[in-house]
Structure 1
Amino acid sequence: MNLIIKLLCGIFVGILMGMFAPEVMVQALITAKYLVSQLIKFTIPLLILFYVTSGIASLPKNSGKLLSKTVGLAYISTLGAGILAFMVAKSLFPALLSGAGQLPEAETVLSPFLELQIPPIMNIMTALTVAFIFGLGISNTGAENLKKISDQGRDIIELFLNKVMIPALPFYIAGVFADMTVKGTVFATLQTFSLVLLAVVAMHWFWLSFQFVTTGVALQRSPLKILRTMLPAYFTAVGTMSSAATVPVTLQQTKRNGVSNSIANFVVPLCANIHMSGSVISIASVAVAVIIMTGAGQVPSLLEALPFLAMLGITMVAAPGAPGGAVMASAGLLGSMLGFTEEMIALQIVLHLAQDSFGTACNVTGDGVIALLIDKVSDSVEESGGELVPAEEIA
């Protein structure tokens, strides 16, 4: 929540400086924005490389059918949520955001004092491909040295995110909004924020309702009772903004819903890392809103957006358990597959972080549904093809 407050302060300070500060101060802020954006572009491939490699390599290889069922169901849920969000946003947002229309043309453009290029060591698709090859290879061969390198690389990138990138985001956002204020586009953008955020949270709850109703029907149980049991996990995630930090509560409430200890201990920590339906809803719908708000061409059709949504569901494995991790992991795909500019990515970050806690809450609450379904289709621990891995080891 401190991060959200800092981002709001960044927006406020950026607008004030864009309106009243001397041009040299605005250029200094724009320079800071430019340098942070270069660091973001450089870091994203490394984040994907180490996080996806470490995440896949950490999947228990002796869990057989149970692992494949859980991963498959989590991905179907994540991809389905993204498709639903994109279709709803594409249908609803043009009318909802009609008051914004295309933002005004730039009247003034201020360049940064220093344009220091920091090219990434590889592009997004290369990083993702290498991560899958090595992640699957490590998981199957048990290459401990490579596993250690991927884990340590993940830890270093996470430290860099937490100590440098996340604290720098308010300055980045301030620079973006100062630039938008100078261009005369800021107020046309801000007036649409609340509408987009309300629509995104409504989609979270629609998807949760769909998950719990279909699960209730399949299990012949009351969806409302199942959902009511999972609500403590939902509200814990709203406060922590972290799936990983909510695992103890999610685990407890999942067991109270009647899931066996062995299944809950396996599924819940695993889904905290791979089931990101709420985050994908947020990213997909906000991406449509950003395209409309900036007038950056036509919103792609579902068929055109499907490769992006499919890759987004995979890339979410790279989302670290820190606020903003999901949108940071998706920034590369937004630029490479949807053609987002730096300003569009900045808007995406602001809108996403403003509701990040609700997206995380949707993620973890849905984890309870997946555990119920896996418990139903798994008659015994032996059906999984091996021993179940304790929750603390997966977490």
Structure 2
Amino acid sequence: MKKLGLLSRLVIAIVLGIVIGSVAPEWAVRGLVTLSSIFGSFLSFMIPLIIVGFVAPGIGDLGHGAGKLLALTVIIAYASTLFAGSLAFLVDSSLFPHLVHAASHAGGNPEEALLKPFFVIEMPQIMGVMSALVLAFVLGVGMAQTKSRSLMNGMKEFQNIIENILGNFIIPLLPLLICGTFANLTYVGEVQVLLKTFAKVYMVVIGLHLTVIAIQYTVACTVAGKNPIKALLNMVPAYVTAIGTQSSAATIPVTLRQTKENNVSEDVADFVIPLCATIHLSGSTITITSCSIAVMMMHGVNFSFSTMFPFIMMLGLMMVAAPGVPGGAIMAALGILQSMLGFGPDMQALMIALYIAQDSFGTACNVTGDGAIAILVDKLKGSLIGTAKA
């Protein structure tokens, strides 16, 4: 089982959950639900620690960049992320009422019909999600301003601890959470509706990924005076590699090579690509925005642009230096899903399943977009330097 990838284990967990929910008696399903509930409580406890452990060092690292070039890259990457999330909302709010609600036979909240665990072990968070986010920003900005090496080293060690817990405990046990959720949904007769909805959501999400990539390269190449089709074709190896690795960081060598094939200067490519691997997540933002809207619609939760846009803005910040493991972006986003959209454990489990099942395509969108940002930064760098000299 350890040799299988996370996606393979997730698929096995879903299948096992459906089988168990179909044939097992109520007490067996409730036992599995109890185990997944305990794990869900621990995951909830870890959310503030994940925020502090990854956001604070991520912001602190940005303080060691190259001044104006750093600021330019961060602004473009964040604007790209906001655009991707906003476009996802506009498309989802137009299409999902026909795709998600049309497939739903349940008028109320599906969670009300789910079996309850035999018992619940409370694991209160040591601080609220927003408190953790504020603390992370205070520490991150403080380390960047004071260049505190001792505190930064301590935060890096704390980050390593959290990353080890994620990689060696939480991520391997995620299939247990998913299995319990799908066993419960199958037992109460909701799983067929859910799987049909999953397929429709994925079609929209991947279409949005490709649309955003096309827009990114059209804008960047128009400004830079390059051929967007040729530039996109040059980035195909990076896109395909990202699908295989499910990691922006692991794809950096290929992304870097293909970006230079687009005649981006070596110094800009060497700076922008590794940086954007941690701060530019347009594909992940599209997926999380779309999946959260689908899950809310399935649960009868109302939403609007006024509630979703602040969530998208926070999402772009929360995923800075997201854990370098498959599914890291959704783990970093659990905090604001909980605090801003009111997602409970079952809704979070569905989000994890939805996100990880397409994680490779979101990563491919992220890294391909990094190449477009490098083209744009390379073009704007001359004006930036000229302004600085003037």
Give 1:379 shift: 2.2
**Structure 1 378/318 Cα, relative in aligned 2: closer, same or farther at 3 Å?**
closer
Residue 49 (structure 2) pairs with residue 46 (structure 1)? yes
Residue 125 (structure 2) pairs with residue 129 (structure 1)? no
CA distance in 2, matches of 1:75, 1:355: 22
Contact map agreement 1:279 1:359 (CA 8 A) in 2:
yes
Q: Please, which of 357, 362, 369 is the counterpart of residue 359 of structure 1?
A: 362
State how many pairs are aligned: 384
Q: In the alignment, which residue of structure 1 is the partner of 2:181?
A: 176
CA offsets, 1:367-386, max 9 Å, x none?
0111111111112996798x
Residue 123 (structure 2) pairs with residue 147 (structure 1)? no
Q: In the alignment, which residue of structure 2 is the partner of 1:197?
A: 202
**Structure 1 210/380 Cα, relative in aligned 2: closer, same or farther at 3 Å?**
closer
SS in 1 for 2:378: helix
Q: In the alignment, which residue of structure 2 is the partner of 1:88?
A: 91
Q: In the alignment, which residue of structure 1 is the partner of 2:227?
A: 222
Larger mean Cα displacement after TM superposition, 239-248 or 311-320: 311-320
Q: In the alignment, which residue of structure 2 is the partner of 1:393?
A: none
CA offsets, 1:289-346, max 9 Å, x none?
1112222x32x22122111111011001142121111111111111111112222111
Q: In the alignment, which residue of structure 1 is the partner of 2:58?
A: 55
Residue 19 (structure 2) pairs with residue 21 (structure 1)? no
Contact map agreement 1:48 1:318 (CA 8 A) in 2:
no
Q: In the alignment, which residue of structure 2 is the partner of 1:337?
A: 340
Residue 242 (structure 2) pairs with residue 255 (structure 1)? no
Contact map agreement 1:102 1:293 (CA 8 A) in 2:
no
Gaps of 5+ in 2: none
- The residue identity in structure 2 corresponding to 1:20 is V
Q: In the alignment, which residue of structure 2 is the partner of 1:187?
A: 192
CA distance in 2, matches of 1:166, 1:194: 24
CA distance in 2, matches of 1:181, 1:315: 33
Contact map agreement 1:51 1:318 (CA 8 A) in 2:
yes
**Structure 1 248/60 Cα, relative in aligned 2: closer, same or farther at 3 Å?**
farther
CA offsets, 1:343-372, max 9 Å, x none?
211111111111110000000000011111
CA distance in 2, matches of 1:178, 1:91: 31
Q: In the alignment, which residue of structure 1 is the partner of 2:71?
A: 68
Contact map agreement 1:102 1:294 (CA 8 A) in 2:
no
CA distance in 1, matches of 2:387, 2:149: 24
- The residue identity in structure 2 corresponding to 1:28 is G
Q: In the alignment, which residue of structure 2 is the partner of 1:307?
A: 310
Contact map agreement 2:114 2:185 (CA 8 A) in 1:
no
Give 1:58 shift: 1.1
- The residue identity in structure 2 corresponding to 1:218 is V
**Structure 1 155/310 Cα, relative in aligned 2: closer, same or farther at 3 Å?**
same
**Structure 1 177/263 Cα, relative in aligned 2: closer, same or farther at 3 Å?**
same
- Structure 1-normalised TM-score? 0.93
**Structure 1 140/384 Cα, relative in aligned 2: closer, same or farther at 3 Å?**
farther
Q: In the alignment, which residue of structure 2 is the partner of 1:391?
A: none
CA distance in 2, matches of 1:70, 1:330: 22
Residue 334 (structure 2) pairs with residue 346 (structure 1)? no
Give 1:99 shift: 2.8
SS in 2 for 1:118: coil
CA distance in 1, matches of 2:282, 2:113: 40
- The residue identity in structure 2 corresponding to 1:324 is G
SS in 2 for 1:114: coil
Q: In the alignment, which residue of structure 2 is the partner of 1:244?
A: 249
Superposition map of 1:89-128 within 5 A = 89-101=92-104, 103=106, 109-128=114-133
CA offsets, 1:57-116, max 9 Å, x none?
112435111010001110000111001101110111111223323536668653323311
Q: In the alignment, which residue of structure 2 is the partner of 1:388?
A: none
- Structure 2-normalised TM-score? 0.94
**Structure 1 101/63 Cα, relative in aligned 2: closer, same or farther at 3 Å?**
same
Q: In the alignment, which residue of structure 2 is the partner of 1:79?
A: 82
When the two chains are superposed, the root-mean-square deviation of aligned CA atoms in Å is 1.9
CA distance in 2, matches of 1:292, 1:322: 29
CA offsets, 1:152-201, max 9 Å, x none?
11111111011110111111101001111222211111121111111100
Give 1:22 shift: 2.7
CA offsets, 1:111-147, max 9 Å, x none?
3233111111111111111111111111111111110
The alignment-based identity, stated in percent, is 46
Larger mean Cα displacement after TM superposition, 271-280 or 112-121: 112-121
Give 1:23 shift: 2.6
**Structure 1 37/318 Cα, relative in aligned 2: closer, same or farther at 3 Å?**
farther
Contact map agreement 2:20 2:183 (CA 8 A) in 1:
yes
CA distance in 1, matches of 2:32, 2:191: 16
